[in-house]
Structure 1
Amino acid sequence: MMPSLFLSHGTPLLALEKNSYTAFLKDYMKAMNKPAAIVILSAHWESGEQMISAVRKHQVIYDFVGFSEEIFKITYPAPGCLELSDRILTLLSRIDIWGELDDRRPLDHGAWGLLHIMYPEADIPVVSLSINPELPLNKQYDIGKALGELKEENVLIIGSGGIVHNFSHIQKDMNVAEGWAINFENWVEGKIRNWDLEALFNYEQKAPYSLDAVPTKEHYIPLIIAMGAGNEHKKAALLHRSFQYGNLSLTAWKFD
């Protein structure tokens, strides 16, 4: 059965970088069985309504400015899967999440930035889902639980975000990690390993440096959804952790 993954997507430049994290992404996917389809939830598709992509072939959106021309040449023309999109509508309706299909939504860099590295052939069907940051974290977890049924059908579920992700704090010339960022990551790691949902749902009050690490929830939510998709066995493995720019974490978790 496929795992669910939480993957940090860093900055848009990740798609062009060669570092320990991008090497991990390439090597890990080569070692995994190839999924029949991918469901990805990116922090960069926010919506007050639950949206589900239903395109036949994906376009990409460059949802950023100020980067080199090379990155604007990246495309990711993966096929969609209308049957899977419709199936997700049904699964989410069971938890009173009433979704809508979107036949135009392109992949944002939280999605294509990772997929371009992991599966460069773009030959696996992809369905992307929006994130509603207004939903409480226990409901985000329930979304993951609902999607978890798809893992039995060889569907890879990816939550794309960032555990320590605050662009106002990054130090562009700093090559070591700041203590506060390490501290928050270590706190999250301990709670995940103990499957302490109460703490993870209330990280703002319980975690050290929570407002510095998570100034807004949209990059944290994909972690909770990916974890929810592993609810049946509650087995977590930290696959990779590194830092860029002093405090931007590049973290990968697997949930079986």
Structure 2
Amino acid sequence: MIPALFIAHGAPLLAIEDNDYTQFLNGLGQELPRPKAIVLFSAHWIAGSQKVSEVAEYDTIYDFGGFPDELYQIKYPAKGNQQMAHQISNLFSENGIPFEMDTRRGLDHGAWVVLRLLYPNADIPVIAMSVNPRLSPEQQYKIGQSLVKLRANDVLVIGSGGTVHNLRAVQFLENDLDEWALEFDQWLEKHLKKWDLDALYSYDTLAPNASLAVPPHGNEHFVPLFYAMGAADDVRQATLLHRSYRYGNLSHSVWAFG
């Protein structure tokens, strides 16, 4: 069965860089069983109710500013899948998850940067999903949990965000790792591998340096982790596939669940 993934999408520059992390994601897309479709929860699509994309073909959204022109020329013309969108809506209805269908929104960089590195040909149908950082971790996990059946049908569920993502703390001219970021990720690794939901749900009070790693103004990047975990509730196994850092503390972590 294909695992669910949590993937750090880093800074938009990843889309045009060639480094250890981009090479890892290129290779991961080739190593994974080829999915029939991808369901992706992006930190950059925040909504008060769960959104499910029902778009035929996505526009590419450039939801950032001040970067090289090359970034704004990139297109990722992924197609949607109406049948899969309706299957997701049925699963949400069965599990009491309120949701709304969306027929207009394109793919933000939290989605297309990751997808382009994994599957550069844009030839796998995508269902884009919103996140709601105001929900409790338990509620976010439950949303992912309602999609467990999809994995049995070779659907890849991805949460795109970052375990350590504090733009007020990043040091763009500094690559020496901040110890506080590593300490947070090591705590997270310990409890993910034990599938210790009680501790993980209270990460904000239990994890060292949680207010730095996951600041209140930026927790939307952390919560896709719970959506991805929930989608693997049937096989509670967490594997760290990659971890590196940029700009002092911006984490490039990739977790496989299931």
Q: TM-score, normalised by structure 2?
A: 0.97
Deviation for aligned residue 1:134: 1.5
Separation in structure 2 between the aligned mates of residue 217 and residue 183 of structure 1, nearest angstrom:
18
Partner of 2:248: 246
Residue 149 of structure 1, CA deviation: 1.0
Aligned counterpart, 1:39: 39
Which residue is 1:210 aligned to?
A: 210
The more displaced of 185-194 and 214-223 is 214-223
Separation of aligned partners in 1, 2:88 and 2:37: 13
Where 1:104 maps in the other structure, the secondary structure is coil
Q: Residue 144 of structure 1: CA displacement?
A: 1.1
Residue type matched to 1:201 in 2? Y
- CA drift of 1:94 comes to 2.4
In the TM superposition, what is the alpha-carbon distance from 1:225 to its structure 2 partner?
Answer: 1.0
**Alpha-carbon RMSD:** 0.8
**Cα distance, 1:79 vs structure 2:** 0.9
Instruction: Report the Cα distance in structure 1 between the residues aligned to 2:121 and 2:240, rounded to whole angstroms.
Output: 26
Q: Deviations over 1:179-214 (max 9, x none)?
A: 000000000000101111111111111011101000
Q: How many Å apart are 1:240 and its aligned residue?
A: 0.1
Q: Does 1:74 align with 2:74?
A: yes
Map 1:126-165 onto structure 2 (within 5 A).
126-165=126-165
The one-letter code of the counterpart of 1:221 is V
Task: Give SS of 1:212's match.
Answer: helix
Cα distance in 1, alignment partners of residues 148 and 113 from structure 2: 23
Deviation at 1:16, TM superposition (A): 1.0
Q: Is there any run of 5+ residues in structure 2 with no aligned partner, and where?
A: none
> What's 2:102 paired with?
102
Report the Cα distance in structure 2 between the residues aligned to 1:148 and 1:176, rounded to whole angstroms. Answer: 39
User: For residue 188 of structure 1, what is the aligned residue in structure 2?
Assistant: 188
State how far apart, in whole Å, the 2-side matches of 1:115 and 1:18 are: 16
Equivalent position SS for 2:240? strand
- Residues paired across the two proteins, number: 256
**Where do 5+ consecutive residues of structure 1 fail to align?**
none
Alignment correspondent of 1:220: 222
Q: For residues 132-170 of structure 1, what are the alpha-carbon distances to aligned partners after superposition, in whole Å with 9 as ceiling and x for unaligned?
A: 111111011111111121001110000000000001100
- Report if the CA contact (8 A) 1:183-1:208 is conserved: yes
- Aligned pairs for 1:7-86 (under 5 A) are 7-86=7-86
- 1:68 is displaced (CA, Å) by 0.4
Match of 1:70, SS?
helix
Instruction: Report what 1:201 is aligned to.
Output: 201
Match of 2:235 in 1: 233
Residues 19-63 of structure 1: per-residue CA shift (max 9 Å, x gap): 111111111111112110000000000000111110111111101
Q: Which runs of 4+ in 1 moved over 6 A?
A: none
Paired-residue identity, %? 47
Partners of 2:248 and 2:84 lie apart in 1 by 40
- The one-letter code matched in structure 2 to 1:170 is V
Give the CA deviation at 1:230: 1.2
Q: Is the 8 A contact 1:89 1:98 kept in 2?
A: no
Distance 1:164 1:37 in 2: 28
